[in-house]
Amino acid sequence: MSILVVAAHPDDEVLGCGASVAKWTEAGNEVHILILAEGATSRDAVRNPGNRIDELSALAKAAHSSGDILGVTSVRLLNFPDNRLDSVDLLDVIIAVEEQIKRINPETVCTHHSGDLNIDHRITHQAVVTACRPQPGQVVRRLLSFEVPSSTEWQPPDSGPVFQPNWFEDVSITLDRKLQALEIYTKEMRPWPHSRSFQAVDHLARWRGSSVGCEAAEAFILLREVC
């Protein structure tokens, strides 16, 4: 089976479903990673990628290195503006996702939750759902959304849809691979008790696992499945 993970920023793919990706690749599936935004220029008042060349290069290398740890088939990074996807025509983002779907022909696509606090996550979700619309000939049969610590749980309940998972991947064996891949993104991680700390990521996986009777799990919302 071919699986496409569409993430807004470098590290979201690991935070959201890194242990599941490792599980899927170990089972012989091809997993492809598409990262839409460059992940660094939002730290400047005015976007100027030229001022962040070293940082952007480091993030790209981290994405490929973490993908190697997880066993993915390909990692592709685009150059949409970080935390400014709302400044881009949505159609341009949709077309970028559609191009990868045509290239990969994935049966499963995973992306962000529609209610995340981060604007890029929400736009990525909308672009993916649109690109995967169930028109005749659509190759995508399963559509999943994942949670990202420090975005999904930070959105107040009245401000967006609450993440209510109905699909759990038992990642008891591959959780260590996720944490190892996050070590590559160490500059994006934060000290405990930040929810994007290594301890919090581990605790979340243990909590999701205990919710369904296993050592560790990653949680998803099944948005659509065509059997």
- pLDDT tens for 104-159 read 999 999 999 999 999 999 999 999 999 999 999 999 999 999 999 999 999 999 99
What was the pLDDT predicted at 41? Answer: 75
The neighbour count for residue 134, using CB atoms within 10 Å, is 11
Per-position b or e across 52-63, b if 16+ CB within 10 A of its CB: beebbebbbebb
- Band the pLDDT of 44: cuts 50, 70, 90: low
pLDDT in tens, 81-104: 999 999 999 999 999 999 999 999
- Band the pLDDT of 42: cuts 50, 70, 90: confident
pLDDT over 90 at 204, yes or no: yes
Residue 171 contacts residue 226 (beta carbons within 8 Å): no
CA distance 206 to 154: 19
Domains by residue range for the chain, with CATH:
2-225 (3.40.50.10320)
pTM comes to: 0.96
pLDDT over 70 at 64, yes or no: yes
